[in-house]
Amino acid sequence: MTQRPLISLENVTITFGGLVAVANVSMFVEPGELVGLIGPNGAGKTTVFNLITGVYRPTSGAIKFADKNDPNHMIDLVGKKPYTVTARGIARTFQNIRLFNEMTVLDNVRLALSHSFRYGLLASLTHLGKFHAEEERSIEEARRLLDVFDLRDKQDELARNLPYGEQRRLEIARAMATDPRLLLLDEPAAGMNPIETEALAETIARIRKEFGITILLIEHDMSLVMKICERIYVLDHGQLIAHGTPDQIQHNERVIEAYLGDDDDI
Amino acid sequence: MSRLSLKNSSNAASPMRVVTTKNLIILGVIAATFALVWLLRQLGIVTSVHESTLALICINIILAVSLNLITGFTGQFSLGHAGFMSIGAYTTALILLRFPTVWGFLAGLVIGGILAMIAGIIIGFPTLRLKGDYLAIATLGFAEIIRVVFQNMEITGGPSGLASIPRMASWPWMIGLTILTILVINNFINSYRGRACIAIREDEVAAEAMGINSTKYKIIAFALGAFFAGIAGGLYASYFYFIAPGKFNFLTSINVLVIVVLGGLGSLSGSVIAAVILTVLTTMLRGFTGVNNIIYAILLIAMMLFRPKGLMGTIEVTDLLEKLRLFKRKEQVE
Amino acid sequence: MQGFFQQLVNGLSLGSIYALIALGYTMVYGIIGLINFAHGDVYMVGAYVGYWVTTFTDLGWIPALIISMITCAILGVLIERIAYRPLRHATRIAALITAIGVSLLLEYTMMFFMGARVRSYPEVLENRLFEIGGVVISSQQILIVVISLVLMFLLNFIVRYTKQGKAMRAVSFDHDTAKMMGINVDRTISFTFLLGSALAGAAGVLVGIYYNSIDPLMGMMPGLKAFVAAVFGGIGSIPGAMIGGVLIGIIETMVAGYGGSLYRDAAVFGILILVLLIRPSGLLGKKKGNKV
């Protein structure tokens, strides 16, 4: 390891009533990297995301994340609530899209900007003081993000009325609004056609360049993973079975075996 | 919600954003209500019987709008509104009986509201991690406990309650506080805190993942809703001279919930409309003793079977008007 | 100590009645996830049917019990058909409001026809008192406990060993899977209402005999308390409802017997809140994880 990792998991294990969902997983992501996390269905990939973001608490092991102000200092994420994990700089999308359906596209993004608002409860109730200036600022900020994701024209649509591909993009835009340093993408290309997937790859490349963000990606579309990821971890039955560059992973026998044993296509 | 962003997108550049069509509409409605009631009173069409209906309408609006914040906007199913209402009612009554002045009334309302709010926070902290029906039944339980306590305290007059409470809640107080409640809650909903509440209703897990401390916002919504329920209780005590624990049983909570659901969960104007319709309806049905409650029950079931989303769904009256306006403007551009 | 056992006996008979009502709540909640607010009023109707049969016919209390159970079973099935089935895919709150509407409808329809006044049951069963070590037990109390036990045993048998009972358990587990297995989900839900309502009807007659007074609003409080009992025992769990009902009955009589009679309702709701906070799944309920 040449550099201090941005996030590291050390021997993380979680069991649900005797069933071991994730066993002894250790992994790390360095700042600026794009790392893939792959594996057959039910391997425990989303569980890893849920562990990192505080939805689940690991049965044992440590999850450490570099402090915002002092990158040499690692803070322990175990036992932190999801919203505090987000406040520390980790944002995520969901495998089964979880937008705020009855809110507009703009408000979905503005909701994720909540951390940036600077007006008190009294201003919320009266709309006096800094209220209008702050609301204005958040609208501008949200629009800038929507521009990046090509959703500006849709800002007044209700999220539930967007087509599937745009809902996926909006989820990423919303996650970016929380101002993360690490972005966890859970199958962003699921259900997309090759053209949409291509566009998604471009968007990911663009946000990496524009925001300098680190990404951990769960994805089933192997051509996408092999093309854009710098390193890949492979999970099977809750255990890490391989780790390496896309080239190494493609020729790893255990990985091939794991995938052939499953019905999933590689 | 959509209302604010619609407006912002259409005239975000304008610095005078306080003067928007929407606000003008609200002002117009308020002024028209005042004028109408004044006129009807001058013409002698409104008698004291009607007046008590008007007072009930106002109280029901305050109750429904405040419960809508908790249940409709934040998605927290509460059946305890009568409990908060009773705290405001007893506080106002007890203060008014000792200080029968306007100042006593005002102090009663404020202190009653604050005590109800504190009760809301105390109840909210442990129970708000419960979901759905479980939360509903827990809040119902708390409200019943509050009622039993009032029923057994000497200072509150036990089961027979308190009588001869001075009437300070005149018509201007009623409508003034009703409008204040609607404005404050509407403002709250259209702030980032209100959006956080709506996001929690839509998807709590996703809201937490976006950095929203859901417990905190649920408590705020609960506290605010309880505060205004307390105010409604205070108005009730001072207008109807008499309160007793039986008035604040769970049927009262249910009545408020019925108004909110009938109007549309997540629609303030829906709550206002439903409060007016239901109060007038129950007053009219009062003439048909015996069948009135049967009709009410049948209407309730029929309403849920044929329009489970309520009258307005999550849409506001101002939304409808604004959509019309936007539509027209697009035509002009083309 | 004598006083304690006396309260225990009183609590046991009250608790058996709560348990009978709680079973209906728990089965319905288990199968369609609805707090059937009208269930307490089905029990009220049951009490009135028993009253009519014993007052206007020569039939004894056993036929009264059976007729009441049959009437309530039909009523329960009708309620589900007319009011709840169309809302099966609506929001929970719409279903709950409907249930409240049905509850009000039953209460006020009964009030319209029978008046609001309290009526007393004819004495259909001679009440003999037995004294065992200073504790007084009435024959009615024994009757209530015995009948409750018999009915619960029957229910347990139906749910465990009959085809319909197995279908009930399958549907409560997962509607879609049950449907794929060829189970008629609608009929199974009707059957659940039938069973639960019949038990409520029995409870109504027993209460009429025991307390000797009935009125159109009598279902409200016991209904709520029986629901508390169902939650206490673990909602969805049949043995849980039985144990919860008996425990709530005993706790309530204990609180009343030891000077807190004014706070007996508050005590029941206090327990509810404690249970919900400490162990929301109840005594015998299964824990459910949330999936993200």
Q: Quick one: closest CA in A to B197, which residue?
A: A111
Would you call A46 and C289 a contact, using CB atoms and an 8 Å cutoff? no
Strands of A166-260 (E only): list them.
182-186, 214-218, 231-236, 239-244
CATH number of C2-122+139-278: 1.10.3470
Residue A77 domain-assigned (yes or no): yes
* Tens-binned pLDDT, residue by residue, of chain C (292 aa): 778 888 898 899 999 999 999 999 999 998 888 889 899 999 999 999 999 999 888 888 899 999 999 999 999 999 999 999 998 888 888 888 899 899 999 999 999 999 888 988 887 777 788 888 888 888 889 989 999 999 999 999 999 999 999 999 889 888 888 888 889 999 999 999 999 999 999 999 999 988 888 999 999 889 989 999 999 998 888 899 999 999 999 999 999 888 777 788 888 888 888 888 888 788 887 655 455 5
Would you state the pLDDT for residue A23?
94
Would you state the pLDDT for residue B1?
36
The percentage of chain A sitting over the pLDDT mark of 70, rounded to a whole number, equals: 97
Would you state the pLDDT for residue B16?
40
Would you state the pLDDT for residue B3?
37
Cα B322 to Cα A131: distance, rounded to the nearest angstrom:
22
Band of residue B2 on the pLDDT scale cut at 50, 70, 90 = very low
Short-list C282, C250, C279, CA closest to C267: C250
| Domain tally, chain A | 2
Q: Quick one: closest CA in C to A95, which residue?
A: C292
Would you state the pLDDT for residue A236?
93
Given CB atoms, is C115 within the 8 Å cutoff of chain B?
no
Give every CB contact of residue B148 below 8 A, 6+ residues apart in sequence.
B245, C262, C263, C265, C266
Of the residues A179, A202, A225, which one is the last residue of a structural domain?
A179
Whether A130 and A83 map to the same domain: the answer is no
Predicted ipTM of the assembly: 0.93
Would you state the pLDDT for residue B5?
38
Give every CB contact of residue A182 below 8 A, 6+ residues apart in sequence.
A6, A7, A29, A65, A89, A90, A91, A213, A214, A215, A216
Short-list C210, C283, C286, CA closest to C22: C283
Q: How far is A172 from chain B (nearest CA, A)?
A: 11
DSSP letter at A158 equals: B
Q: Which residue shows structure tokens 């794929």?
A: C180
Would you state the pLDDT for residue C287?
58
Whether A62 and A84 map to the same domain: the answer is yes
The predicted model gives B56-72 an average pLDDT of 96
Output the CA torsion sign for A136, A138, A142, A147. positive
**Chain C CB contacts of B300 below 8 Å:** 97-98, 100-101, 104
Of the residues A155, A179, A203, which one is the last residue of a structural domain?
A179
Would you state the pLDDT for residue A122?
93
Digit-coded pLDDT (tens) for B110-141: 999 999 999 999 998 888 888 778 888 889 99
Residues from A contacting C (CB-CB < 8 Å) are: 16, 46, 50, 55, 94
Would you state the pLDDT for residue B310?
84
Cα A104 to Cα B195: distance, rounded to the nearest angstrom:
11
Given CB atoms, is B127 within the 8 Å cutoff of chain C?
yes
Would you call A156 and B202 a contact, using CB atoms and an 8 Å cutoff? no
Would you state the pLDDT for residue C136?
86
Would you state the pLDDT for residue B9?
40
Digit-coded pLDDT (tens) for B144-200: 999 999 999 989 998 899 999 999 888 889 988 999 999 999 999 999 999 999 999
What residues make up the domain containing A1? 1-89+180-266
Digit-coded pLDDT (tens) for A193-231: 899 899 999 999 999 988 899 999 999 889 999 999 999
Given CB atoms, is C289 within the 8 Å cutoff of chain A?
yes
Would you call A55 and C292 a contact, using CB atoms and an 8 Å cutoff? yes
Torsion over CA of B294, B300, B304 and B307, rounded to 10 degrees? 120
Would you state the pLDDT for residue B18?
55
Band of residue B10 on the pLDDT scale cut at 50, 70, 90 = very low
The predicted model gives B13-33 an average pLDDT of 64
Would you state the pLDDT for residue A118?
93
Would you call B297 and C108 a contact, using CB atoms and an 8 Å cutoff? yes
Would you call A100 and B206 a contact, using CB atoms and an 8 Å cutoff? yes
Given CB atoms, is B148 within the 8 Å cutoff of chain C?
yes
Are B58 and B64 within 8 A, CB to CB?
no
Whether A45 and A172 map to the same domain: the answer is no
The predicted model gives A20-35 an average pLDDT of 95
Given CB atoms, is C109 within the 8 Å cutoff of chain B?
yes
Q: Which of C104, C109, C114, C281 to mutate to test the interface with B (most CBs of B within 10 A)?
A: C104
Residue A97 domain-assigned (yes or no): no
Whether A216 and A232 map to the same domain: the answer is yes
Would you state the pLDDT for residue C197?
97
Helix (H) or strand (E) holding C171: helix C163-173
Would you call B308 and C277 a contact, using CB atoms and an 8 Å cutoff? no
Residue A95 domain-assigned (yes or no): no
Would you call C292 and A50 a contact, using CB atoms and an 8 Å cutoff? yes
Whether A187 and A137 map to the same domain: the answer is no
Q: Domain B2-8+21-333 belongs to what architecture?
A: Orthogonal Bundle (1.10)
Digit-coded pLDDT (tens) for B37-63: 778 777 777 676 678 888 999 999 999
Q: How far is B53 from chain C (nearest CA, A)?
A: 23
Band of residue B325 on the pLDDT scale cut at 50, 70, 90 = low
Q: Quick one: closest CA in C to A49, which residue?
A: C292
Q: What is the pTM of this model?
A: 0.89
**Chain B CB contacts of A94 below 8 Å:** 206, 209
Would you state the pLDDT for residue B334?
38
Whether A119 and A243 map to the same domain: the answer is no
Rg from Cα positions in chain A = 19
Q: How far is B265 from chain C (nearest CA, A)?
A: 10
Would you call B194 and A124 a contact, using CB atoms and an 8 Å cutoff? yes
Would you call B301 and C102 a contact, using CB atoms and an 8 Å cutoff? yes
**Chain A CB contacts of B211 below 8 Å:** 83, 86-87, 112, 114-115, 178
Would you state the pLDDT for residue B17?
52
Report which of residues B2 and C30 the model is more confident about: C30
Digit-coded pLDDT (tens) for B227-268: 999 999 999 999 999 999 999 998 899 899 999 999 999 999
The predicted model gives B305-330 an average pLDDT of 74
**Domain boundaries in chain B?**
2-8+21-333
**Chain A CB contacts of C289 below 8 Å:** 16
Digit-coded pLDDT (tens) for A102-158: 999 999 999 999 999 999 999 999 999 999 999 999 999 999 999 999 999 999 999
Q: How far is B103 from chain A (nearest CA, A)?
A: 24
Whether A119 and A241 map to the same domain: the answer is no
Are A158 and A103 within 8 A, CB to CB?
yes
- List Cα–Cα distances, A172 to A92, B201, C33, C263, in angstroms: 8, 21, 35, 54
Whether A212 and A141 map to the same domain: the answer is no
For residue A254, pLDDT over 70 is answered with yes
For residue A3, pLDDT over 80 is answered with no
Q: Which of B207, B210, B314 sits opposite A102 (nearest CB)?
A: B314
Are B35 and B175 within 8 A, CB to CB?
no
Residue A96 domain-assigned (yes or no): no
The percentage of chain B sitting over the pLDDT mark of 70, rounded to a whole number, equals: 88
Would you call B211 and A114 a contact, using CB atoms and an 8 Å cutoff? yes
**Chain A CB contacts of B5 below 8 Å:** 104, 106-107, 110, 139, 155-156
